Amino acid sequence: MDEALIIHGGKPLRGDIPVNTAKNSALYLILAALLTPEEVVLKDIPKLRDVIAISEMLEHFGAEVSWKGRNLHIKAEHILTCSAPYQLVSRMRASFVAIGALLGRCGDAKMSMPGGCAFGPRPVDRHIKAFKALGVEVLEEDGDFIFKREKPLEGRAIFEAPTVGGTQNVLLASAIGEGTVVIENAALEPEIPDLANMLNAMGAKIRGAGTSVITIEGVPYLKGITYRPIPDRIEAGTLILAIAATRGKARLVDVDSSHMNALMIKLSEAGVAFEEGDGTLTVDATRSLGPVDVVAVEYPGIATDLQAPFGAFLSTIPGVSHVEDHVYPDRFTHIEELKHTGADFELNERTLKIEGGTLHGAKMQAADIRAGGALIVAALAAHGTSVITGLQFIERGYENIAGRLQGLGADIHRSEVALVATGTYGD
């Protein structure tokens, strides 16, 4: 038996739903707690598989980690090892950013090649080049990377292309010390200033986060802090697309709509209306909607993590739409599963053509986090019953998604099902 989401679709989503704090921030804020021996408290953290995995990694390093309600308490008074074994690193890509925290706290680190979702090449060479440029010795031994610094990091790290993980890695490695580091062509994503803001509250001296040039002046010590991450723009975007796909009207609470301007502009072109409030965003998709063309790019454009859910939404709109992903051009493995709903997809080189129409319930299997989000969006819009397996991927990025969507009137629940082939599911 396997656990699955059972969704009886075709019901417009209505009501209010709170947005969780950002997983893609929380993971790196947790790693930042390694930079101080004092206690760090992170507030309102979703209990996702990825969060639990990175917490277990910190415990491996020697940190004390505990939950009090939804607050995560971390105290890394003693670091027992600066080596991360494969069984921990292989669970997700974010683990590679532990290198920066370990270099900052210990001066050395040993790390296997990271794992994570499989949707094309995601090289770490940009991280390695940046560290070498700052004076870090990098060795490769039996598939492991070994990082050593003899003195505080100093110099310029110039990325050939913006990288969120690479920028975060350098921030963590450079916050403690006597040197000055400049990051050029830094990533612009909101998770970068969120990490910098937390580090600055701990005593770091970081300027320019959120721009392409970031300057870090190393300090001798960082203190403990209580901090709340930014709202999760990817979860919020997935919820917006689900509301739109079901032609619903609902309000997101505890959201920062400024992080989703590109998404909202494109959805407005399709006919979706928005009303922004103080930390709220009302989504109205009750009017007639039309097809649009979408390109996923680096922030402030439409996030690659929303490319798959956006395509699922477009499959519900009569007419022809197109989707491209300039961040991960091969990130279209989910379309074969979505085809089981009757969605008409045609992949020409790296452009996805979508002929939208009415979807029907189907059996589908998620193969990565955001593909899982796309399957949920399609199933909520589809007429009939859908069964979605692969919850181990979905639960890496969406906390209690069934229970929370129930609050919007969705007919969705978790259940054990026999392992079955994907395909059409009838009413």
Q: In what order do the strands lie in the sheet with 14-18?
A: 14-18, 249-253, 280-284, 273-276
- Asked if residue 12 lies in contact with residue 422, where contact means CB atoms within 8 angstroms, the answer is no
Location of structure tokens 């909607």 = 289
Rounded to the nearest 5 degrees, what angle is found at the Cα of 205, between the Cα atoms of 82 and 136?
Answer: 40
DSSP state of 202: T
Pairing of strands 213-217, 205-207: antiparallel
- The dihedral through the CA atoms of 89, 94, 97, 101 has a sign that is negative
106 catalytic? Reply is no
412 Cβ neighbours under 8 A, 6+ residues apart: 5, 6, 7, 8, 380, 401, 402, 405, 406
Sign of CA pseudo-dihedral 128, 134, 136, 139 = positive
Look at residues 198, 258, 186 and name the one whose alpha carbon lies nearest to residue 225: 198
How far does the chain reach from its first CA to its final CA, in angstroms?
Answer: 22
Q: What are phi and psi of 155, to 5 degrees?
A: 125, -155
Could you give the CA distance from residue 242 to residue 100 in angstroms, rounded to a whole number? 36
HSE (CB half, 13 Å, CA atoms) of 113? 9
Please identify which of the residues 72, 74, 117, 225 carries the catalytic annotation. Answer: 117
Residues 6+ apart with CB under 8 A from 209: 171, 186, 192, 193, 195, 196, 197
Q: Which active-site residues does the annotation give?
A: 117
